[in-house]
Structures are given as C-alpha cells and as structure tokens.
Amino acid sequence: MPTPATPTHCPYCSLQCGMTVARAGRVGVEIGTWNEFPVNAGALCRKGWTAGGLRGSRERLTTPLVRDPDTGELRAADWDEALDLVAARLRALQEAHGRDAVAVFGGGGLTNEKAYLLGKFARVALGTSQIDYNGRWCMSSAASAANLAFGIDRGLPFPLADVEDADVVVLVGSNLAETMPPAARHLDRLRERGGRVVVVDPRRTPTAERADLFLQPVPGGDLALALGVLHLLDARGAVDEVYVATRTTGFDDVRRAAAAWWPERVERATGIAADELHALVDLLAGAARVMVLTARGAEQHAQGTATVLAWIDVALALGMPGRPYAGYGCLTGQGNGQGGREHGQKADQLPGYRMIDDPAARAHVARVWGVPPENLPGKGRSAYELLESLGDGGGPRALLVHGSNPVVSAPNATRITRRLESLDLLVVCDLVLSETAALADVVLPVTQWAEETGTMTNLEGRVVLRRQAVAPPEGVRSDLDVIAGLASRLGSSAGFPTDPEEVFAELGRASAGGRADYSGISYARIVAEHGVFWPCPSTPEGQAPHPGTPRLFADSFATPDGRARFVVPEYVGPAEEPDPSYPVHLTTGRVLAQYQSGAQTRRIRELADDGPFVELHPTLADRIGAADGRPVVVRTRRGELRAPARVVATIRPDTVFVPFHWVGANRLTNDALDPVSRMPEFKVCAAQVLVPSSGRP
C-alpha cells in the first residue's frame, strides 16, 4: 500500500518538474503526477518516471567506505571512524602545506542549502580558497555573458511559458526535446499560434524536427553566424534604433565589427549558405517578439562567452530584452544549475551572487558568518584548473567531492583522472559508487532527492521546494550532516546547522542586498505560491511581502546606468580545427534516457544502458567503410574511444557526435578554456574516425 503522496520535484534537470512521491512496498516508491505545479503541469520524461529506481537497489551505498592501506581495497567503516579519519588527515595536510592544500568540488545538482553550506564550510571551517563546482562546465559562459551585458545572471529572465507567446524563438545549441522534454510543448503551442521556431545545431535533432527553419552549421560556428545576422539586420535597416539609443550602450562598435561579416564570409566560417542566412534574417526582421535562447551547444566553447554575447547583441539590436514575451535567455541544465551558482560554491563568489573580491560583499557575509572579513580567503581556481592542479599538478593535496563525477564528465578526462589518483586524500560523498568514488580513500553515502528536504532554483529563477517524501535508507546521511560533522571535528566555531529550513533562513540573510536576493523567500511562501522568483528581498515588518520577480529588465537593466551593454564579439574559431591528420569535427552531448555522467541513470534498470556510440553520416561511414552497429574508433590528440557506429543522415557529414554519459567521450575532448568563464571546449575538437582492422586497435 502506498503511503500518502508528497508533492516534490524530480532529482534531475533544471526544469525541476513537479511530481508526487509515495512509499510503495518496503523500500520502493511510486511516482505520480502533480498537475498543479505550473512548469510541467503533470508531464514527466522517462528519467523522471523511473527516478525511484535507485531506492532499495544494490547499487545504493549505505555505509561509509574507507580504503584499507594494506589491501588497497575499500572496506565498510562506521560514520565516526570515517569522519574522524577525514578530519584528522585534512588537518594534518593543512598544517604541513597550508590552508589551500585542501580543495572542495561541488555540484549544480545540490540543493541551495547544501551549496551554501559547502561554500561556508570551505571558507570558514577549512579556510581554503580552493572551491569550485561542475556548473563551471555547464552554463558559465552564458552567466559571464549575461553579467557583462545585463549586469545580472538569471538563466531565463522570464517564465518558460512566455515562449508560447513569442513570434520567433531561436534555439542556438539546445536539444530541449531530449534534454527537457516537457518544455517542448511550449514550442508546439507557439507554432499552433502561428509563431516560428528556428533551431541551430550541427545535428537534425528531435528539437530540430519542430523547427520552421533549421540551420546546420559546423560546431563552433555560432559566433560567426550571429555576426552575419547582425550584418544583414543592419544592412536592411532592421535595427531598432530607438531602443538602441535609449536602452543600450556600445552599438556603434558592434555595428563596425559586423560590417565585415558579409554572407559569403559567414558561409566560409559556418557552412551556412547565404540564402539560409537571409531566411533567418527575414524571420527576425519581420517579428515583433523575438526570443533567442542558447544552451550548451553554443556555450561549451573556448569562445563560449563571446558567442553568447554575439547572440545577446542580436536580441538587443532587435530591441527585445525587457519587452514582454521576447528577449534573451539561457536554458540552464542541472537541477539546481541556477541556485548552485548563487550561494558561494563558485571560486570567485560569496552568497547572494556577491563577488569574493568586493570588500562590501566580504564584510556583509563575514558578519552573517560571525567571522572577521580578513579571515575569508580570496578567489580560488576554476573547476578545470582546480582539478588539473591537484596532487602532481602542484596544487591541493586533498579533495572533497559533493555531487559530481569528474572521472566521466571532466574534459581531457585521462589527465584529470591521473591527477585525482595522485592526491594524498580523495573523499567522495555520493549515493552510488561512481567512477570517481571508486578512486576515493573515503566514500560517504548520502541521501538523495525525495529522502531529504531542500530548495532548488529552476531554469526560470523560480525557487522550489523539494520535499522529503520517504525515509532514507539506514546508514546514509545528508550532505548537510557530513559538512556539520566535519566542521565540528575541525574545531570550527561557526554554525553549521543541519535542518534545511534553518540553513535556508541563514542563506536568505547572507544573500540579502546581493544580486540574487532570497531574503524574502520562505518555505511556506514557496509552497503557497508554487515557487518564488528571485530577486525577492525581505520587507520591513508590517509591509507587504515582495512579490518576487518573474520578469526582469522591463524598465532597466542591472548595470550601473541601467542600460544593457553591447559587447564586440571577436571571432577566433575553435581552439582545434580539423587538419589532414584529424579531419572531422567531434562534438558531444546528451541522449534522452541518460543523465550526465550516468552515475545515477546507468544504474536504473528501466533506462536501457546501451553504452556509448558514435553518430556519423552515411557519406562519412562509406568513406571509411563503417557500418551501422559495427565498431569504429574515434581518435583525438588526447585519446581514443571504440564504440558502435550509429549511421544517421541527420548529422553533418564532416562531424561526429558522441554522448558523454559513459567513460570515453571525455578522453577525447579538448581542455581549451574560455578566457572569461573558464568553460572547456566540450563541443568541438578535431578527430579521426576509422574502422578497427581487427580486435582492439
């Protein structure tokens, strides 16, 4: 008999679909629809429906594991033994090598409460500057760009449903029909209303199937494409001169830069023919409400920030940001991809999206934490640079991981795995023995999703409450308990509460007055209002509460003068271009049934785990003699992967695609970083594909 169903949210992506969870049987759960939650209105994708699959599974960790120095194997330990050991070794390493000898790596899947407490733990209990998180590999280029252009970074500055009322939506590098399936209905409704969808992707994806105009550039071509659009918009007199004059600065320089991007040059850089470019500009120039949305296809490049800025320039030139049902937005990715970057687990940030090198920000947060501001460390290294510096790299000698599986998901993963292996101490908190946990000296088993309570901030900036619905398995603890347990063993006098609602209240105070102000949000309000959009400052006693902010930029931008900034994007091209030895483009991404590094979804029986594959065009397959389902080898300057070929006419003939949910794709990828966001170039590098002669190549 199921117990009463509790409304809560999915464990996976940034849509944070509402669902109900009830206990079923001794350990299982039953997932049901929660129709009143507006973002998904009852719809779930396959991953959501099967999310209970890890409950009661043998794959679930239920006891701490400690590596035995004699046998080299992981063995079960009790919590006190494991935490005492970790604390003692952290302290010894810091005494011998300084505070920064210990590093922390967080995740965009952690609740706001966990992300906040982890940042506080690093800065106060460990006193280390070395903390960053996997969100750096996710939407950081869009975050950098939005901060530069608009003075604030909220993925979508409007509710997702606004898509339905736009006239033209341009999706640059998003496959949302597979990465957030319930969101695709907004595109369908937009088209029913007579609106148009444009999709830009080197692959004709299920999302592209919904497009009125589909453009198929080479990977890394989006920046040049945007410059070409700006060129033609200006040539046609389609720039909104009044908007540009009253709401922005810097257009003249962009106009000059775009003047050199005539259609033939765009075609050489992107493979998009002049008539296709004109077709796109026809749609944009004639529309009253244009929405430009970017996702990882456009952003995960060494020029990701510049690429997003170029598309923001397009939206600004058309006069869209701040206009209803129009503007620019980034579709974030992880469950708490938005909140995860606001509360201080990023190397350069403190809670409330404050910058760690801003003296006023330091003073505010230090007051909330009850420590002298000068005790707070400064900026640390970005995610890839941090992992690359570990152990033999000359940087930190110990790493604590909460909510990431970098052995699978880091670029140039062979190198990163070696760095992890060279650490003096690796501690991983996880639900399962991920590839990264399998390398650890200590593994701490934690609660997941419906076993605990906490808030998540979805792709719209809507703060939602993921409520506990079932009891956790015996033996596991929440990340909050782990953090508090270590902090007290390290002798920290600052508070590390373990009650999520108490942590949320503290987080609200720490964020007050910051860019991402949560101080007016409470659990009760989230429940009553189906989520609250930040910024939502607190109001004085007796005054009406702040309503939250579903839509930004109607009157002004968050820059000092209130105007949006045009930034000149300079096209450099991918860090690695094809050449005679590595003649094709390799790009990577996702499939519907797997999530991220696959640590969770590969262990769920209902989601077929077929292993990685290499998607390639029939023309390329013919040239190298590959056949559908037979093995091929993809090789780059960093490594190689052998996997079955999937021969499809939907991909460009000069490009291959590999999903990154299994070990392998990231042995191939390039670790070239964006100069501003420090985003790695996951989405393009040069590769060769061949058919193995016999046996293993």
Ligand X SMILES: Nc1nc2c(c(=O)[nH]1)N[C@H]1C(S)=C(S)[C@@H](COP(=O)(O)OP(=O)(O)OC[C@H]3O[C@@H](n4cnc5c(=O)[nH]c(N)nc54)[C@H](O)[C@@H]3O)O[C@H]1N2
Which residues form the interface with ligand SF4 (CB under 6 A)?
10, 12-13, 15-17, 40, 44-45, 47-48, 180-182
Question: Which of 173, 228, 500, 612 is the binder for ligand X (CB under 6 A)?
Answer: 173
Question: Taking the complex as a whole, how short is the minimal distance between the CB of residue 174 and ligand SF4, in angstroms?
Answer: 13
Question: Taking the complex as a whole, how short is the minimal distance between the CB of residue 95 and ligand X, in angstroms?
Answer: 27
222 touching ligand X, by CB under 6 A: yes
How many residues in the shown chain lie near Mo ion by CB under 5 A?
3
- The binder of 548, among ligand SF4, ligand X, Mo ion, none, by C-beta within 5 to 8 A per type, is none
Largest CA distance in the chain: 78
CB nearer Mo ion, residue 248 or residue 332: 332
Rounded Cα distance, 296 and 304, in Å: 9
Nearest C-alpha neighbor of 300 from the set 697, 680, 695, 689: 680
429 touching ligand X, by CB under 6 A: yes
Rounded Cα distance, 343 and 351, in Å: 4
- From residue 127 to residue 156, the character string flagging contacts with Mo ion as x (rule: CB under 5 A) and all else as - is -----------x------------------
216 touching ligand X, by CB under 6 A: no
CB nearer ligand X, residue 571 or residue 660: 660
Work out the angle at residue 309's Cα, subtended by the Cα atoms of residues 305 and 310, and round it to the nearest 5 degrees: 120
The answer to whether 645 touches 632, Cβ cutoff 8 Å, is yes
The answer to whether 122 touches 285, Cβ cutoff 8 Å, is no
Residues sharing a CB contact under 8 Å with residue 357, sequence separation 6 or more, in sequence order: 348, 378, 379
Question: Taking the complex as a whole, how short is the minimal distance between the CB of residue 60 and ligand X, in angstroms?
Answer: 10
Quickly tell me which residue has 């060279």 as its tokens: 422
Q: Which residue is nearest to ligand X (CB)?
A: 333
Question: Which of 18, 53, 109, 380 is the binder for ligand X (CB under 6 A)?
Answer: 109
681 touching ligand X, by CB under 6 A: no
CB nearer ligand X, residue 232 or residue 387: 387
Structure tokens at 359: 């003296």
110 touching ligand X, by CB under 6 A: yes
CB nearer ligand X, residue 108 or residue 182: 108
Segment lying near Mo ion (by CB under 5 A), choices 247-255, 271-279, 325-333, 480-488: 325-333
- The binder of 519, among Mo ion, ligand X, ligand SF4, none, by C-beta within 5 to 8 A per type, is none
Nearest C-alpha neighbor of 462 from the set 521, 514, 505: 521
CB nearer Mo ion, residue 139 or residue 365: 139
404 touching ligand X, by CB under 6 A: yes
CB nearer ligand SF4, residue 15 or residue 432: 15
The answer to whether 314 touches 292, Cβ cutoff 8 Å, is yes
Rounded Cα distance, 574 and 588, in Å: 14
Question: Taking the complex as a whole, how short is the minimal distance between the CB of residue 600 and ligand X, in angstroms?
Answer: 5
The sign of the torsion formed by the CA atoms of 468, 469, 473, 474 equals: positive
Segment lying near ligand X (by CB under 6 A), choices 265-273, 511-519, 587-595, 686-694: 587-595
- The binder of 148, among ligand SF4, ligand X, Mo ion, none, by C-beta within 5 to 8 A per type, is none
333 touching Mo ion, by CB under 5 A: yes
Which helix (H) or strand (E) element contains residue 150? helix 140-150
Work out the angle at residue 365's Cα, subtended by the Cα atoms of residues 530 and 383, and round it to the nearest 5 degrees: 80
Rounded Cα distance, 231 and 538, in Å: 45
- The binder of 202, among ligand X, ligand SF4, Mo ion, none, by C-beta within 5 to 8 A per type, is ligand X
Q: Which residue is nearest to ligand SF4 (CB)?
A: 48
How many residues in the shown chain lie near ligand X by CB under 6 A?
65
> DSSP strand E in 56-212: where?
65-67, 74-76, 102-106, 131-133, 168-172, 196-200
Question: Which of 8, 20, 141, 179 is the binder for ligand X (CB under 6 A)?
Answer: 179
484 touching ligand X, by CB under 6 A: no
DSSP string for 599-621? TTGGG-TTS------EEE-HHHH
The answer to whether 166 touches 291, Cβ cutoff 8 Å, is yes
Question: Taking the complex as a whole, how short is the minimal distance between the CB of residue 577 and Mo ion, in angstroms?
Answer: 26
Alpha helical stretches, state H, 442-568: 479-489, 500-511, 523-529
Burial tier of 689 (Cβ tally within 10 Å: 0-12, 13-18, 19+): buried
CB nearer Mo ion, residue 333 or residue 578: 333
Structure tokens at 445: 């088993």
Among positions 3-62, residues that touch ligand X (CB under 6 A) are 13
Segment lying near ligand X (by CB under 6 A), choices 77-85, 105-113, 455-463, 671-679: 105-113
Question: Which of 303, 507, 682, 689 is the binder for ligand X (CB under 6 A)?
Answer: 682
CB nearer Mo ion, residue 157 or residue 340: 340
- The binder of 203, among ligand X, ligand SF4, Mo ion, none, by C-beta within 5 to 8 A per type, is ligand X
DSSP string for 671-697? --B-TTT--B-TT-EEEEEE--SSS--
178 touching ligand X, by CB under 6 A: yes
Question: Taking the complex as a whole, how short is the minimal distance between the CB of residue 219 and ligand SF4, in angstroms?
Answer: 25
The sign of the torsion formed by the CA atoms of 360, 361, 367, 371 equals: negative
592 touching ligand X, by CB under 6 A: yes
Structure tokens at 226: 């945007």
Beta-carbon-side half-sphere exposure of residue 7 (alpha carbons within 13 Å):
17
39 touching Mo ion, by CB under 5 A: no
Structure tokens at 413: 């993963």
- The binder of 16, among Mo ion, ligand SF4, ligand X, none, by C-beta within 5 to 8 A per type, is ligand SF4
Rounded Cα distance, 101 and 545, in Å: 44
End-to-end Cα spacing for the chain: 54
296 touching ligand X, by CB under 6 A: yes
Residues paired with 65 in a beta bridge:
76, 443
The sign of the torsion formed by the CA atoms of 546, 551, 555, 560 equals: positive
Q: Which residues bind ligand X (CB under 6 A)?
A: 13, 107-110, 134, 137-138, 172-176, 178-180, 200-203, 205, 219-220, 222, 295-298, 300, 333-334, 402-406, 408-409, 429-432, 434, 446, 448, 479, 587-590, 592, 594-597, 599-600, 657, 660, 665-666, 669, 682-684
Q: Which residues bind Mo ion (CB under 5 A)?
A: 138, 333-334
